Chains A and B, each alone.
Chain A
Amino acid sequence: MEGKGECAVKTLYYDTVVIGGGPAGIAAAIKTREKGLKTLLIENRDVLGGIPLQCIHPGFGIHYYKQDLTGTEFITRLLDKLVESKTEYLTKTYVHSIEYIDYNDKVVNVISPSGVLEVHAETIIYATGARERHIFEIGVYGDRVDGVYTAGEAQTLMDIFGVLPGREVVVIGSGDVGLIMARRFALEGARVKAVVEILPYPGGLMRNVVQCLRDYDIPLLLGHTVVKIIGKKRVEKVIVAKVDENLKIIPGTEFEIPCDTVIVSAGLRPNIDLLEKIGVVIDPATGGPVVNEYLETSKPGIFVAGNALVINDLVDYAVEQGERAAEGAHKFVENNGLPSEKWIRVVKGRNIRLIVPHYISGKREVVLYARVSQPEKNVYIEIPEVNYRVFSYGVRPSEMIRIKLKPEHFKKMSSDDKITIQVTPRQ
C-alpha cells in the first residue's frame, strides 16, 4: 500500500492481452509477437503449458509439426518458441474480470503475485480452455464419498505427481480421455472393472477402444449408466443399469460393481464465464461464443481460440485457432477495428450438430470445424452453395470435420447470404 487514500492498482497498456497459457494462448501470443504487437500472456497456474503437460500419450502435432508427438513433447516445442518470441507473460495470475469500455479499450483486471493490475488493451484473445463436466451434470447420484475424480484430475495425479488414485476403478464415459485413463490405470497395476457408456456407441476413437480397452481386457458397457455411487468414507461400489433408446433406465436391470474409485469422463465445456458476464453471444451447440472467421466474438476486438471456442479433438486445431485469432487481433490493431463485412452465415444442414465459425466473409481462406450428430457410414460431406463435396467412409460425433475453403470456392457461389454444411448418404 502506498499510503492513505492511495490506490495500489498498477495500470498497464498493451495491444493485445492473451488470457490462458495453454496451446491456443501460447500459439496466439507467438503469432501476435511475429506481427509486431505488444502482447501480454496471462496464466493462472504456476507454469505455462496447460493440459498437454500432463498428456504423456502420443497423438499431438500430427498436422502442425507433421510428427506424432506426446502432449509433453508438443508443448515443450511450443514453449521454446514462446521464449524465443520474447513475449511478456505472468503466471500465478488470475483474471478477475473483463470490462468492455469501448471499441478501442478493454480492461482486464488481474490479481498477480505483484498485486492487482489494470491491464488496458485494444484486443483480447480469450484462450481459457475448457472445464470437465462433473458427476452432477450427468445425473449420477448417491453418497458424496472420497474416490470420485474427473479424468483430468486423475491424469494430473498420476502423470504429474506420480500418485495412483485408486486400485479398483470404474470409468464413466468412453470419450478419448476416459479410454486413455482406463489404460493408464491398468498399466500402473490398478484393475479397471468397466468403462460405462450411456450411448450405444463409444465416445472416443475406435483406435483407442482397441489400444486402451481390448489390450487390457477392460469391459466396455455400452447402453449402460451408473445410477448411484455407494460408500461410507470411500467409494465401495456403484450401481449400474441398462438404458433404453431414449437413454431412460430400464427398471430391473440394475447390478453392482464393487470398486474404490470412480473416474468421470463426461466431456468438456468451454470456459466462458468472463465472456458471458460482458454479454458475449453464446452458441448453445458449441457452448462457446458465436464468432466470425477472425474468431472475433460479438464484442469487437475480443477474440476466442482453442477449447474456449469449441471442444477440439486435436491440439493442432487449438493452435490453428490461436494463430487465426492472432491474425484477427493484428488486423484489428492495424485498422482500428476489423473491416466491416457483409457476413455470410454458415448453416447446419443434415446430420450436422455444430459449426465454427458462424459467419464468414467469402473473401479469404477460412477453416470450418464441424461435428455430426449421428455416426454414419459411406457419406458425402457437402457445401452445395460453393460446390464442395468430399467422400468419407465414416463420420462420427467424436471426430471433428475440418474443411478448408479457399477464395476460389466463393467465386461461383449460388447464394449471397449463407452456406450450408451437410452430410448426405452415398446412393
Chain B
Amino acid sequence: MKELELYCIMCPASCTLRVIVKDREIQVYGNQCPRGVEYAKQEVLEPRRHVMSVVRVKNGDMPTVSVVTRSPVPKDCIWRIMEQLAKIELEAPVEIGDVVIRDICGTDIIATRRVKRIELL
C-alpha cells in the first residue's frame, strides 16, 4: 500500500488529493468533482505529458523551429524524445504541422512555428 499527495491539474481549483494505492485499486480523497478521480488514476497508473522543444533549422528566417508531441506521451518517454530531437537538423521552409519525427513513443513530433526559407545570393 502506498499513500500519495497530488495536486489536481484539471482546473484552477487545484484540489489537494490524498491517493491510496493498493495493488491496482486506487482510492482518491479531497477531490471536489469526479475529474479529480480521473486525474489521480491516470497520474498514478501512467502519467503522460506533452513534450516541447526546439530543433535547428538550416537556411531559415529563424534559427530554430519549435516542436511538440501530437498527443501526450508517458513520462518515461520524455528523455528518449529529447535525445532524438537534439540529433536532427531541418531544412527551411518548415510549416506548422509538419512532422519532424514520425512514430516515436506512440505519437509524432510536429512543428509549431513557421520558418521561411531565406535564399542566399
Contact = CB atoms under 8 A, between A and B. Distances in A.
A56 B112 contact: yes
Interface residues of B, number: 28
Nearest to B10: A207
Interface stretch (A11-19, A68-76, A414-422): A68-76
Nearest to B79: A187
Interface string B23-44: 0000000001000000000000
A159 interface: yes
B14 to A, nearest CB: 4
B13 A162 contact: no
A72 B66 contact: yes
A399 B75 CA distance: 27
Interface string A44-61: 000000000100111000
Contacts of B13: 392-394
A162 B54 CA distance: 7
Contacts of B54: 56, 158-159, 162
A396 B78 CA distance: 31
A211 B9 contact: yes
Most central of B15, B51, B54 by chain A CB within 10 Å: B54
Contacts of A162: 54, 56, 63-64
B52 interface: yes
Give the contact-size bracket for chain A. Answer: 20 to 34
Given A70-B52, A158-B54, A211-B49, A206 B64 contact: no
Contacts of B12: 205-206, 393-394, 396, 399
A395 B96 CA distance: 36
Contacts, number: 75
A188 interface: yes
Contact of A76 (B56, B78, B82, B113): B113
A93 to B, nearest CB: 19
A162 B57 CA distance: 10
B68 interface: yes
A230 B114 CA distance: 41
Most central of A72, A158, A189 by chain B CB within 10 Å: A72
Contacts of B67: 56
A209 to B, nearest CB: 7
A53 B66 CA distance: 9
Given A206-B9, A394-B13, A58 B62 contact: no
Contacts of A56: 52-54, 66-68, 112-113
A94 to B, nearest CB: 21
A58 B64 contact: no
Interface in B63-111: 63-64, 66-68, 75, 78, 82, 96
Given A159-B66, A211-B9, A394-B14, 16 more contacts: A53-B113, A56-B112, A56-B113, A72-B96, A72-B113, A73-B96, A76-B113, A158-B54, A160-B63, A161-B63, A205-B12, A206-B7, A207-B9, A207-B14, A210-B9, A393-B12
24 contacts: A56-B52, A56-B53, A58-B50, A58-B52, A70-B66, A70-B68, A72-B112, A73-B96, A161-B64, A162-B54, A187-B51, A187-B82, A205-B12, A206-B9, A209-B7, A210-B7, A210-B9, A211-B9, A215-B75, A392-B13, A393-B15, A394-B12, A394-B14, A399-B12
